[in-house]
Amino acid sequence: MTAERKKSLYASTVVADHLRPAATECDLQAPIQLGDLGWWHYLNGDYQKAVDMLSAVVQQRPGDLNLRLGLAWGQIEIRRYGDALQTLNGAIYEQQIQPERALVRAVANWQAQEHDEAIRDFDITVSGRPEWGNSSWVKALYSRWSHKALWRCKPSASGENRR
């Protein structure tokens, strides 16, 4: 991460912390605003703070898949893989698994040493959202640790999955 990117994330975190009291007022947008702030903490590498904020928001909006995905990413980063899988599985049942949900589940399963499930979820992700097959794109959005786990799920050039 470049020094300029770190400064930008730090400045965003300062602003996010400053705005948090306003977002906690009783209004309909508060959970979404707090979820956004929690995601900023994830992007800044403060995973525990992200999980704390997103956990509270998911309790307020248990059916919001995007909030659950953010919480699951944070839980993976603090190595709570079982919690991440439970967070994902607690979402309202859908006929088709969303690619974003499958991606988070792939990383959580890989880190929990459930490689076959991880590979299956990675395949679901890439078939629904081909951009997830682009290493540079994923690396720009998520932590180096999550990127590394995800890339181990990806089939190698010979067609065999890495283990």
Rounded-to-integer distance, Cα 148 and Cα 78, Å: 15
Chain segment 8-25, per-residue pLDDT in tens: 655 566 655 655 555 444
Q: What is the pTM of this model?
A: 0.63
Asked if 126 and 133 count as a contact pair (C-beta separation under 8 A), the reply is yes
Chain segment 109-142, per-residue pLDDT in tens: 888 888 888 888 888 888 878 887 887 877 787 7
- The residue that leads in pLDDT, 77 or 123, is 77
pLDDT for the residue 78:
95
| Rounded mean pLDDT, 143-152 | 75
- What spatial distance separates the first Cα and last Cα of the chain, rounded to whole Å? 27
Measured in whole angstroms, how far is the alpha carbon of residue 38 from the centre of its chain?
A: 11
Asked if 82 and 124 count as a contact pair (C-beta separation under 8 A), the reply is no
For residue 45, the SS3 value is coil
pLDDT for the residue 18:
56
